[in-house]
Amino acid sequence: MTNCPTLIVTVGLPARGKTYISKKLTRYLNWIGVPTKEFNVGQYRRECLKIYKSFEFFRPDNEEGLKIRRQCAMAALNDVRQYLSVEGGQVAVFDATNTTRERRGTIVKFAEQNGFKVFFVESVCEDPDVIAQNIVQVKLDSPDYIHCNTEEAIEDFMKRIKCYESSYQPLDEVLDRDLSYIKIMDVGRRYLVNRVLDHIQSRIVYYLMNIHITPRSIYLCRHGESDLNIKGRIGGDSGLSARGEEFAKRLRKFIQDQNIKDLKVWTSQMKRTIQTAECLGVPYEQWKSLNEIDAGVCEEMMYEEIQEHYPLEFALRDQDKYRYRYPKGESYEDLVQRLEPVIMELERQENILVVCHQAVMRCLLAYFLDKTADELPYLKCPLHTVLKLTPMAYGCKVESVYLGVDSVNTHRDRPEVGIPSSTQKCLSADDVDNLNPLQV
């Protein structure tokens, strides 16, 4: 993305959603292929202290507390340096309050010394309901309050916030005009963006301006079983089988029983998803971006046929399924890039049903469940099953609902790594030496 690694620095009082933002941003950047890692200073403090006693630790006149917190911040920054300078990371997210101009100046100096760009993300929220909701949803489950009752924990955390308020210096349009930052006000009601310097910062801003915290559910399913599914052939644009049509009818009943408010339905532009959605009896929107992965010259072939006619290609795909690109077709890596606008719009929406395809569903699922590129191509997305995703504070709850209609199993397990000897016999020595997973 950029030759110069980026250090994202959160700013804001406790219970303003900084960790929520940090985790979502880390998940998104990793999904689009930018190696990113989060460094939560609070976790360093817990590892250092082991036992949290009370808000007194955070009092501005607690010299011992200030010393420990400073040490924890520096330990986290040292790990940031290791990740960005040695381990090949491209983005580090430094998740802490960073409420004083002095602390932010220290971070900027650290970044300059190490050749990192800095981008600040400040979350400002004055809505007491949002703050209270955040405390209840997230902070009460913190290890800090594992031995407290709810009332004691809330009271202590409110006092902890007060400890920060007296010294909080928000990012200022004049004093901080030379810094790159986005200021998010009241969880996305307003934004202030200043000095976006490169492509990665632009992507970060665009993403953060699309996410929201409104409770909702995302339903993912594949089309009903198709005629080509029954024949064991990949890709193509065939219609539904009799069992696929039965699934579509049961999907309609399932959705009706869920009684979902203002549900939107998306499909691909391929027959099998459209025929599935037609049975629902509700409006739906077709997305070309949701079309199944393009298998190129292997469209409508069986895996056994691919192995016979294209043994090298078959072996290369088994070696690196995520990056392997079908001749004249696509790779999973290509598919993720194609689906990024879909993810952006999914983040903007509320309740939605996406009727899609196996490879597409794997990519979407990997985003929401924070799966690696290595795991993504082998996620199980069976036919005639609906996955209900409910975004939570720091993750996603998944419920799998099988609608009771038999179908073929199109999942292919991860093969043993290595090129089979039968394939190697078909290759010259040069071929084996020059295997290229992205060969077209």
- Is 48 labeled as catalytic in the residue annotation? no
DSSP string, 33-79: T--EEEEEHHHHHHHHHSS---GGGG-TT-HHHHHHHHHHHHHHHHH
Taking residue 271's Cβ as centre, other Cβ atoms within 10 Å add up to: 16
- H or E stretch at 317: helix 311-319
Is residue 125 part of the annotated active site? The answer reads yes
Q: Which of 223, 246, 363, 381 is catalytic?
A: 223
- 292 as an active site residue: the answer is yes
- Rounded CA-CA distance 301/54 in Å is 65
Q: In this structure, are residues 432 and 419 in contact, taking their beta carbons and an 8 Å threshold? A: yes
| Active-site entry in 38, 95, 313, 330 | 95
- Catalytic one of 125, 163, 279, 363: 125
Q: Which residue has the tokens 């007060």?
A: 162
Mutual orientation of helices 199-208 and 332-348 as an angle, nearest 10°?
A: 40
| Nearest-angstrom CA–CA distance, 143 and 52 | 8
Catalytic residue among 292, 294, 318, 330: 292
Active site residue 340: no
Other Cβ atoms within 10 Å of 225 Cβ, number: 26
Task: Name the nearest CA neighbour of 92 among 103, 107, 102.
Answer: 107
Strand order of the sheet with strand 190-194?
36-40, 91-95, 6-11, 117-124, 181-185, 190-194
The set of catalytic residues is: 95, 125, 223, 292
